[in-house]
Structure 1
């Protein structure tokens, strides 16, 4: 068996864009502080926290998922979680919210559940599940 591995992470352009938007929101918040607009400051602060949290998480937890002959590695704020193929299951889950279907890849190992979507993986979760099937079949 070869030492082949593959990984998935948020698209770099999206992460860079999130950092740029965060910087612009910080500038907007500073302007609101200087003009004394309290309600505008609140809105800018909330938006800065939301977009900034995405930017930080997408930068720190890279790559989000790595698969190789030994199993999977899922990266979170809590560190890297190693999941051997044995005892690990994954499935695609479709949920309907606000009239739209959302597709996620759910990875389960013992008492842990990781839910990864298109933004986390940088690609369609169906493609990732197919690649995981191919890697697992090599085992």
Structure 2
């Protein structure tokens, strides 16, 4: 991502992630229709959950944007503006377990902590953290 003074940066959910959630919703819906008994309920709940996540990603694909005035965080609860003065810390939290490495971008803004994965941002979280730290006054 090119650095331009005063530019607004946006990070969004990749279309592949949205497509995977839509495919999972379809697969579980099909399982609910074809299955029976207890599987019907569980598959229906899973289908509804994946469908809700896919719809959210289609309606509000931009999870995080940043400019010289601060951040805009979009999630399940809506959209929130966070000024740079409210940002206490930006860091990448890395966990290794069972041979897998998980990285989360953590933005500590007072009483709230915003967490983002590469599936939320469409970029490696280390790159996003570096960009945010360069933008932060």
Is the pair's TM-score, using the shorter chain for normalization, greater than 0.5? yes
Gaps of at least 5 residues in structure 2 are none
Aligned to 1:90: 90
Q: How does 1:72-111 map to 2 (within 5 A)?
A: 72-88=71-87, 89-111=89-111
- Whichever of the two has the greater Rg, that structure is 1
Aligned partners of 2:14, 2:42: CA distance in 1, in Å? 27
Q: How does 1:54-69 map to 2 (within 5 A)?
A: 54-69=53-68
Aligned partners of 1:46, 1:79: CA distance in 2, in Å? 23
My pick for the range that moved more, 95-104 or 106-115, is: 95-104
Aligned partners of 1:15, 1:78: CA distance in 2, in Å? 19
**1:29 maps onto 2:32 in alignment:** yes
What is the SS of the residue equivalent to 1:132?
A: helix
Q: What TM-score do the two structures reach when normalised by structure 1?
A: 0.82
User: CA RMSD of the aligned region, Å?
Assistant: 2.1
Please report how far the alpha carbon of residue 118 of structure 1 lies from its aligned counterpart in structure 2 after TM superposition.
1.1
Aligned partners of 2:131, 2:93: CA distance in 1, in Å? 17
- Would the aligned equivalents of 1:60 and 1:77 in 2 still touch at CA under 8 Å? no
Aligned length: 133
Q: What TM-score do the two structures reach when normalised by structure 2?
A: 0.83
Report Cα offsets for 1:68-114 as digits up to 9, x if no partner: 11111100121111111113021111123334221111001110111
Report Cα offsets for 1:7-44 as digits up to 9, x if no partner: 11110122023213312321331222xxxx21332442
Aligned to 1:38: 37
